[in-house]
Amino acid sequence: MAMVCLSDFEAYAKKYLPKIAWDFFAAGADDCSTRDENILAYKRIHFRPRMLRDVSMMDIRTKLLGTEISFPVGIAPTGFHQLAWPDGEKSTARAAKAMNTCYIASTYSTCTLEEISAAAPGGLHWFQLYIHRNRAVSQQLVQRAEALGFQGLVLTADLPYSGKRRDDIRNGFCLPPHMKLKNLEGAFEVCKMSPLDPSVTWNDIYWLQSLTHLPIIIKGILTKEDAELAVRHGVQGIIVSNHGGRQLDGGPATIDALVEVVEAVQGKVEVYLDGGIRKGSDVLKALALGAKCVFIGRPALWGLAYKGEEGLQDVLRILRDEFCLSMALAGCASVSEIGRHLVQFSKL
Ligand code: FNR
C-alpha cells in the first residue's frame, strides 16, 4: 500500500489496530464536535499566495526556545504508545531524533523516561507533566526529567478531570496487564481517587519554577485571558491546544483560538499549536497565524501503528515535504517570510 498522505496511515491504523486501541486513540469528548472542528476549521482559511518569488532554495528550519529543529512540526505528548507498537515511546523518540525534531514525552508513557532518553541520546525531548495529588510524585518526575537532559517542561492545564469519551466507557478501556504506566509505578496506590490533582491553579507554576531550571511551556490555553496569565506567571511557551478535542466538547478549534492568543502575548513568549494538523498546508496556515511550531498527536500514533519508528518517520517526512511544497507554492522561501498576510478567513 502506497502511503501518500496522513489519511493513509489513519486508514491503516483503523484497519489493523485492535478496536479498543483504535477507539482510545480516536476518541473525542461527548459527540466529538471539538475534535472534528479542529480539522474543519482549516478549510475556512485560505491562502493569499504570492507569485514570482524565487523559491529555488527553501529553508524550513526553525528554533524552539533557542534549539534548532529541521522543520516546524514536533510530536505532541500522547499516552500509551505500546498500544500502537511494542517498543512504544522508545520508537517515538528514535523517529523524532532521526527527523531532528522535538518529542514531548507524556507522564502516561509506557516506557520510563530513562528508556526514552537512552533510545535517542542527544534528541530534543520535553517532558509533559500532569500534576499528581501526591506532589512528591510530580516533583520526582520533573527532577528526573531534568537530570536526564530533557530540555523543557510542558504543564498540561486542561485536564483537571478526564473528558467523557463515550467509546472508552463502552469498551471498558484500560491498559492490558502487560503494559504499565512505567513512570508512575507505585504512585497510583497512593491515591484511591484519580491520581491527578484537580485543585491545580496558576500558583502551581511558581511551585514548578522552584523545582526546576527547565523552561516551562503551558499546554491547553485557548483564550487571551489565560495567555496573559501565562505570560505574567513567567512561562516561556504556550501550546494552544484543546487536547485533540478530548476534554471540553464545544470549545473552539485550536487554529481559531490561536489568533487571540498570539495577539495577547505580543511576542513575549513562543506560541505553538496542536490539534487537527493533517497536511503540510495546515502547518503553513498555523505558522501564518503566528504559531512558531505545531505538534501532532494522533498522526504520530498512526505512524507507529504502521511500522513503529519507520512509520512515524514516514509521517513526519510526508508532513515536512508537504509543508515545504505549500510554502514554495505560496511564495515563501524561508519560514521567516511566513506571516499573517499569507492567509484570510473565508466569510462562511
Ligand atoms: C492525547 N493528548 C495528551 N496530552 C497530554 O498533555 N498528555 C497526554 O498524555 C495526552 N495523551 C493523549 C492520548 C491520545 C490518544 C490523544 C489522541 C491525545 C493530547 C495531545 O497532546 C494533543 O493535544 C492532541 O492529540 C492534538 O490533536 P491531534 O493532533 O491528535 O488532532
Rounded to the nearest angstrom, the distance between the alpha carbon of 67 and the centre of ligand 1 is 23
Domain that holds residue 146: 6-338
Binding site annotation covers 243? Answer: yes
Catalytic member of 81, 125, 132, 243:
243
pLDDT at 348: 63
Tell me the pLDDT tens digit for each residue of 252-287.
999 999 999 999 999 999 999 999 999 999 999 999
Rounded to the nearest angstrom, the distance between the alpha carbon of 298 and the centre of ligand 1 is 7
Binding site annotation covers 275? Answer: yes
Identify whether 348 is part of a domain: no
AA letter at 168: D
pLDDT at 193: 64
Mean pLDDT of the chain: 97
Domains identified in the chain, total number: 1
Identify whether 1 is part of a domain: no
pLDDT-based confidence at residue 189 (cuts at 50, 70, 90): low
For residue 150, pLDDT beyond 90: yes
At 314, list the grid cell: 514516514
Tell me the pLDDT tens digit for each residue of 45-60.
999 999 999 999 999 9
Q: What is the CATH number of the domain that holds 112?
A: 3.20.20.70
Annotated catalytic residue 243? yes
pLDDT at 282: 99
% of the chain residues with pLDDT over 70: 98
pLDDT at 192: 53
For residue 303, pLDDT beyond 80: yes
d(CA 234, CA 214) in angstroms, rounded, equals 12
Identify whether 346 is part of a domain: no
Q: Which residues have a Cβ under 8 Å from the Cβ of 156 and sit 6 or more positions away?
A: 77, 128, 129, 130, 219, 220, 243
Helix (H, G, I), strand (E, B) or coil at 126: strand
Q: What is the DSSP letter of 131?
A: P
% of the chain residues with pLDDT over 90: 96
d(CA 90, CA 76) in angstroms, rounded, equals 15
Ligand 1 nearest-atom number relative to CA 298: 30
pLDDT at 1: 78
Tell me the pLDDT tens digit for each residue of 211-231.
999 999 999 999 999 999 999
Binding site annotation covers 138? Answer: no
pLDDT at 127: 98
Identify whether 120 is part of a domain: yes
Ligand 1 nearest-atom number relative to CA 241: 23
d(CA 239, CA 48) in angstroms, rounded, equals 26
Identify whether 44 is part of a domain: yes
At 159, list the grid cell: 485536564
Q: 105-134: string of b/e by CB count within 10 Å (b at 16+)?
A: bbbbbbbbbebbbebbeebbbbbbbbbbbe
Closest CA to 152 of 293, 347, 328, 313: 293
d(CA 223, CA 218) in angstroms, rounded, equals 13
Binding pocket residue ranges, ligand 1, CB within 6 Å:
24-25, 38, 76-79, 106, 108, 128, 156, 219, 241, 243-244, 246, 274-277, 296-298
Identify whether 294 is part of a domain: yes
Binding site annotation covers 186? Answer: no
Ligand 1 nearest-atom number relative to CA 295: 29
Closest residue by Cα to atom 13, ligand 1, is 78
What is the rounded (10 degree) CA torsion for 63, 71, 35, 112?
A: -70
Confirm if 289 and 76 have CB atoms less than 8 A apart: no
Average pLDDT in the 288-311 region?
99
Identify whether 344 is part of a domain: no
Rounded to the nearest angstrom, the distance between the alpha carbon of 347 and the centre of ligand 1 is 30
For residue 191, pLDDT beyond 80: no
Identify whether 345 is part of a domain: no
Average pLDDT in the 83-104 region?
98
